[in-house]
């Protein structure tokens, strides 16, 4: 129903929208603003960064990876630069994923035991989920978020 | 990479989590609470209800459907009952979608012209997006949302 290439293109479209969402935040609010005791948007993005490339790398190499959400990204520019670097790595690793192994179980980061396809869908869903939260932060700040359908 | 059956199961898991999210809201706040001028969570859910079954029906029958976000669902119980009725219809219509037509274009509701698979992914993504916003509303209300991975 969905090919590997289509799923990658779908994800890359979402990454473009997430990038636009990061760009909409003022520098200070990206790192400090939050609602109801939640993490600021920069921390939600760092969560995505911390699992996406290391997770894909583990799927391809089979070597158990490590991850830390506490990344040394301290400005919007640093986050956007890392986002773009990771997009290139995501394209590279994704293309190396073996389609025959998609339904095999992988204990990602030595902790989360699901099929590879489930991990991939989780990565994308988790990005949509947190970005939706970023939209609320932006609205609370009086800033119009990007259009949800703008993946270009 | 993903079969039709897997995509349906994935969506149904998300629908279970969305149902749990609706349940967490107090009656009054479900219909009245919002942040930054956004719609209350009940309205975001009504948006999903208004497109999911009518959209699937159009994919299966080919008859142009209509939709209105302004549904006569005025209590949490009414929303949950409708949610459950729609889940049954989603399973039925989804199973009737012709796999050979997935990459054909459909001008859904006479307005949105994309491939059928794009429409289906949009429905799921849009649910994750708005549910993530509901999580922020719950946090702002001092209520712990369900776990994101709880799709059972």
Residue that has been written with the tokens 């219509």 in this structure: B93
B130 has binding-site annotation: yes
Residue that has been written with the tokens 């636009």 in this structure: A20
**Cα dist from B62 to A112, A146, B75, whole Å:** 42, 32, 33
Taking any CB pair shorter than 8 Å as contact, residues of chain B touching chain A are: 1-4, 6-7, 10, 14, 35-38, 99, 102, 117, 121-122, 125-126, 128-133, 135-142, 148-149
Angle, CA B4 vertex, CA B1 and CA B6 arms, to 5°:
70
**Cα dist from B73 to B30, B70, B76, whole Å:** 12, 9, 8
pLDDT in tens, A84-122: 999 999 999 999 998 888 999 999 999 999 999 999 999
pLDDT in tens, B31-72: 999 999 999 999 999 999 999 999 999 999 999 888 888 899
- Tell me which residue in B1, B121, B149 faces A99 most closely, judged by beta carbons: B1
Report the alpha-carbon distance of residue A25 to residue A135 in Å, rounded: 10
Name the pLDDT band for A34 (thresholds 50, 70, 90): very high
- Tell me which residue in A38, A102, A148 faces B136 most closely, judged by beta carbons: A38
- Topology at the third CATH level for domain A4-140: 1.20.120
Name the pLDDT band for A1 (thresholds 50, 70, 90): confident
pTM over 0.90: yes
Nearest 10 degrees: Cα torsion A149, A92, B149, B44 = 0
Contact flag B132-A137 (C-beta cutoff 8 Å): no
- Residue A117 near residue A103 (C-beta atoms within 8 A): yes
Phi and psi at residue B106, to the nearest 5° = -130, 130
Give residue A2's pLDDT: 87
Name the pLDDT band for A82 (thresholds 50, 70, 90): very high
Q: Give average pLDDT by consecutive 10-residue segment, chain B, 152 residues.
A: 90 98 98 98 98 96 87 97 98 93 92 93 97 98 95 88
Which conformational region is residue B73 in: left (phi greater than 0), alpha (psi within -120 to 50 degrees), or beta?
beta
């Amino acid at each position: 129903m969905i090919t590997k290439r289509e799923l990658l293109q779908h994800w890359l479209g979402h990454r473009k929208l997430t990038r636009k969402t990061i760009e909409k935040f003022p520098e200070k609010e990206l790192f400090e603003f939050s609602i109801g005791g939640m993490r600021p948007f920069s921390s939600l993005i760092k969560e995505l960064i911390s699992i996406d490339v290391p997770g894909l790398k583990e799927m391809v190499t089979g070597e158990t990876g490590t991850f830390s959400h506490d990344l040394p990204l301290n400005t919007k520019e640093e986050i956007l630069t890392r986002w773009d670097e990771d997009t290139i790595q995501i394209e590279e690793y994704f293309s190396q994923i073996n389609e025959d192994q998609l339904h095999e179980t992988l204990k990602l980061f030595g902790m989360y035991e699901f099929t590879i396809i489930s991990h991939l869908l989780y990565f994308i869903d988790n990005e949509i989920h947190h970005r939706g939260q970023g939209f609320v932060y932006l609205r609370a700040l009086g800033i119009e978020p990007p259009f949800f359908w703008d993946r270009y």
